[in-house]
Amino acid sequence: SRAKREGERVGLWDAGIAGVRSWEIALYAELRAAISRDELIVFYQPLQAAATGRIVGVEALVRWSHPTRGLLPPGAFLPMAERSALIVDVTRWVLDEALRQCAAWAARGLHVPVSVNISARMLVLDDLPSLVTGSLARHQLPPDVLTLEITESALVTQPGRAAAMLRELRSKGVKLALDDFGTGYSSMEILKALPFDEVKIDRGFVADVRGSLLDAAIVRSVLDLGHRLGLRVVGEGVEDDRTLRMMTELGCDILQGDAVSRPRPPSHLEDLLVERVAPAERPGPADGSAA
């Protein structure tokens, strides 16, 4: 079909397999233009140390400020980008923008490490390490301000190559987080194979940790496992104060979710960061506590 040929032309990788729908191709063209027109923006969601209440970092979450459809969440365009080579451009842009923002915070005395999500497609790309180190150098930042968030499913496609690149980045001082923990396949194997610094408990388990004994048991187990492996454990999707208190009591190191702050543009995080980022926190092995 014409849509299929066009899909192949623009590099939708599975064009020949499932067939690419025409709306997807239109979206592809629009997103490609959007990147060069600076329509993408990054929101940041704070990461709070449970023990101290300090903000110890932020997660970069991409949005598309679409000229007619308004602010689009990543779910509205990333799946398409991930099926095409466009995810590389999106990731490169988000990474560089997040590090630019991190440098801007640093210039004002705010130590705000940033976490950036890395899609599976990026892990088959040989130049991920140079992309990352190039961007760090451009903004004159040390590698340990950056955490790369990887999901388990990202590691099943080409485990050997992906692992080699992640080890290379880790050896340079970039941190690694295992994202959405508990939703993948072979968590234990991946935790064993790769030098993660952090594990993020998927919000599906955190949401009902107070109401469900099953979810509470899973959260406790992940905390225990993570701590035994020397990792800091982040609870995602902490929506209310009671969940925040329970996650703290259970020993979760870092809390992320609407109870701390929703993802916001930098201009709307100003007060929170000035108030709650630890003063002159030394870069070094993050242990989730300011003590």
**Per-position x/- string for 161-190, each x denoting binding to ligand C2E as judged by CB under 6 A, each - no binding:** ------------------xx----------
CB of 291 to ligand C2E, least distance (A): 26
Q: Nearest Cα to 114, choosing from 100, 125, 126?
A: 100
Candidate ranges 20-28, 73-81, 139-147, 208-216; the one touching ligand C2E (CB under 6 A): 73-81
Contact 187, 205 (CB under 8 A): no
Which of 7-15, 157-165, 185-193, 231-239 is the region at the interface with ligand C2E (rule: CB under 6 A)?
231-239
End-to-end CA distance of the chain: 62
Among the residue ranges 6-14, 154-162, 218-226, 251-259, the one whose residues contact ligand C2E (CB under 6 A)? 251-259
Name the strand (E) or helix (H) holding 115. Answer: strand 114-118
The reply on whether position 253 binds ligand C2E by CB under 6 A is no
Distances (CA, A) of 52 to 135, 149, 187: 31, 24, 29
Please state the separation of Cα 253 from the chain's center in Å.
Answer: 17
Of 45, 48, 84, 117, the residue at the interface with Mg ion (CB under 5 A) is 117
97 in contact with ligand C2E (CB under 6 A): no
Measured over the CA atoms of residue 90, residue 93, residue 99 and residue 102, the dihedral's sign is: negative
73 binds, among Mg ion, ligand C2E, none (CB under 5 to 8 A by kind): ligand C2E
Q: What is the total count of residues that contact ligand C2E (CB under 6 A)?
A: 24
Does 236 participate in binding ligand C2E (rule CB under 6 A)? Answer: yes
Q: What is the enclosing helix (H) or strand (E) of 17?
A: helix 15-18
